[in-house]
Structure 1
Amino acid sequence: MHVQQMMTLHPQARGGPGQEILTRCVEAAYDCAQICIACADACLGEADVVRLRQCIRLDLDCADICLATGSTATRRTGANTPTLIRLLETCAVACATCAQECSMHGADHPHCRLCADACRRCEDLCRQSLMALQATVQ
């Protein structure tokens, strides 16, 4: 809710349907980053941590990419559309990859199942934001 308020109140906010999707994407990216960090930490606490090594790596990579994407998408003064497009593309790929890995562990580790859900939501909103952003530059 605070992200939406802040982005709406920004003097350079452009409004329109793309703005709403981008705002939801920012919220999802920050949410996904937090959940990925928590999932990585929970994986480190599991007895089978060696089997979860790739999951931990992908969780942390995804969290970093989500944070960068959320931060860049939040900035409304001026525009850096090519960079934002690349970040949204990269974030969608990182989220899809992380969701796939976490899904493999979801039956044994509920935190991985929750992380996979957050990653899929973020991936979906990144792709929606990409379509909206690309429609404005064409």
Structure 2
Amino acid sequence: MLNQQYTECIRACLECMEACNACYNACLKEEDVAMMSYCIRLDRECADICSFAAKAMQSNSPFAEQICKLCAEICEACGKECEKHEQDHCKRCAESCFRCADVCRKMVS
């Protein structure tokens, strides 16, 4: 049975992963892709760690808390980068990243 303390965190990680993937895809379609390159990179990093964190929690990994701590750090960095941009997809991604970082930090505290 899945550890109940992980339920909200898994949901936040999966939502953030989806937001980062959507932002990544939308950034690639922007007129000035070079300007979005760091945002694109962090979107990929964040989506990957969120996916990994969700999987770690779902499998009740003994490293889930450490992974979620790292996930919070990466989500925070991605959110800070995304909020620098005016595009709606970046704003939505930043909100999701900050929420995920907050939920991950609460879960490990």
TM over 0.5: yes
The answer to whether residue 24 in structure 2 is matched with residue 24 in structure 1 is: no
Runs of 5+ in structure 2 lacking a partner?
none
Runs of 5+ in structure 1 lacking a partner?
1-9, 132-138
Identical columns (%): 38
The answer to whether residue 79 in structure 2 is matched with residue 99 in structure 1 is: yes
Letter of the aligned partner of 2:33 in structure 1?
V
The answer to whether residue 27 in structure 2 is matched with residue 43 in structure 1 is: yes
Letter of the aligned partner of 2:88 in structure 1?
P
User: Within 2, Cα distance between the matches of 1:74 and 1:25?
Assistant: 10
Q: Displacement, 1:85?
A: 1.9
Larger radius of gyration: 1
**Superposition misfits of 4+ residues, deviation over 2 angstroms:** none
Mapping 1:59-138, distance limit 5 Å: 59-76=43-60, 80=62, 83-105=63-85, 107=86, 109-131=87-109
Calculate the TM-score normalised by the size of structure 1: 0.75
* Higher RCO (CA < 8 A, seq sep 6+): 2
Letter of the aligned partner of 2:8 in structure 1?
R
Counting matched residue pairs gives: 109
Calculate the TM-score normalised by the size of structure 2: 0.95
